[in-house]
Amino acid sequence: MTNSTENFLQNLESIIADRLENPSQESYTASLAASGTKRVAQKVGEEAVELALASVAGDRAEVLSEAADLVYHLLVLLKVQDISFEDVTNVLSERHTG
């Protein structure tokens, strides 16, 4: 990952955290999290299936769109679980070096 990619993911995590700490009625993130962990997890599953189907269809634009949706919903789920993306990358790093 490039620094700009890492910075963007960190920034997105911060935005998600802010939306959860300061919820508003206009915030999709806040309303999603308020619906509970089960619903957030369902959204992750839905987006993963949509990404898989787009991949099979071979539509690059749709794959990119669904991948972005999946990453966003994954970050929301991680935040709801009090897990950072850095925590996840640390596990991946340990697996790679171990």
Q: What is the mean pLDDT of the chain?
A: 94
For each of the domains in the chain, give its residue range(s) and CATH number, in order of start. Answer: 3-97 (1.10.287.1080)
- The answer to whether 10 and 18 are in contact (CB under 8 A) is no
Nearest to 67 by CA among 86, 50, 43: 50
Chain-centroid distance, C-alpha 43: 10
**What angle in degrees, to the nearest 10, is found between the helix axes of 3-21 and 85-97?**
140
pLDDT at 78: 98
Helix, coil or strand: residue 23? coil
pLDDT single digits (tens) 36-68: 999 999 999 999 999 999 999 999 999 999 999
- The answer to whether 48 and 72 are in contact (CB under 8 A) is no
User: What is the pTM (predicted TM-score) of this model?
Assistant: 0.90
